[in-house]
Amino acid sequence: MRFSRDARYCMTLSEHPKRKSRLKPPGGAMRELFVILGLFAAIFSAAWWMPRAWYRALLYPGRRPNALSRVLNSANAWFSGRGYGPAFLVTLETRGRRSGRPLRNPMVAAEVGGARYLVSMLGPKADWVLNARAAGGDAVLCHGATEHIRLEEVPPAERAPILKAYLRRAPGGRPHFDIAPDAPLEEFEKVAPLYPVFRICPR
């Protein structure tokens, strides 16, 4: 069968004898979208259902955030910094001790005796901890509004009740502790030197 030049240009994809449509049916695109959303939901909720060792290996190998956890933390910092969610979900901004660039971390502020505290779930080598110490505690806290603060480090002997309150409020921090949120204070006293705690004070 022969076609004129004009006729060939006028043919639709379905009419052309040698070409097939590459368009995906709408149902296929929707399925892919649901799969992607499901994967993100599974990762965001991993702290609730994934074993501690798996969670740490997936997102924080060697107690350091990998590329995936940095993406998730950036998203959380954006949302909490703009005031979404409960008031205890905050974004902490510290100044890089070497680069001088701002570093933003999503945090959960624990409250004990009317005072607010920040806990380093990754221990004393977390970047924000080192930055805060280098800056004499000066930092910025955001939850919709911007708050200039000074972080005062709490001695290990006083950390146990704060760590307990933190785990009750921060499911995302639980995989980094090998004790349950309802463990007795004596158990928290044993691990207190491993987790720096800072009191949030006005500057």
* Cα separation, 71 vs 36, whole angstroms: 15
Answer yes or no: are the C-beta atoms of 114 and 162 closer than 8 Å.
Answer: no
pLDDT given at position 16? 47
pLDDT given at position 29? 76
Domain 45-202 sits in CATH at 2.30.110.10
* Cα separation, 96 vs 203, whole angstroms: 19
Q: Using alpha carbons, select from 121, 142, 132 the residue that is nearest to residue 76.
A: 142
pLDDT given at position 26? 58
Q: Using alpha carbons, select from 128, 118, 134, 119 the residue that is nearest to residue 94.
A: 128
The first and second tokens of residue 171, run together, are 């499911």
Give the residue carrying structure tokens 């070497």.
Answer: 98
Walk along the chain (203 residues) and give the pLDDT tens digit of each residue.
Answer: 454 555 444 444 444 444 444 555 556 777 776 666 666 666 667 777 788 899 899 999 999 999 999 999 999 999 999 999 999 999 999 999 999 999 999 999 999 999 999 999 999 999 999 999 999 999 999 999 999 999 999 999 999 999 999 999 999 999 999 999 999 999 999 999 999 999 999 99
* Cα separation, 53 vs 164, whole angstroms: 20
Give the residue carrying structure tokens 């919709």.
Answer: 144
pLDDT given at position 12? 46
pLDDT given at position 116? 98
Domain boundaries, the chain: 1-33, 45-202
Answer yes or no: are the C-beta atoms of 151 and 198 closer than 8 Å.
Answer: yes
Answer yes or no: are the C-beta atoms of 198 and 152 closer than 8 Å.
Answer: yes
* Cα separation, 157 vs 134, whole angstroms: 23
* Cα separation, 145 vs 83, whole angstroms: 7
* Cα separation, 6 vs 156, whole angstroms: 83
* Cα separation, 107 vs 94, whole angstroms: 12
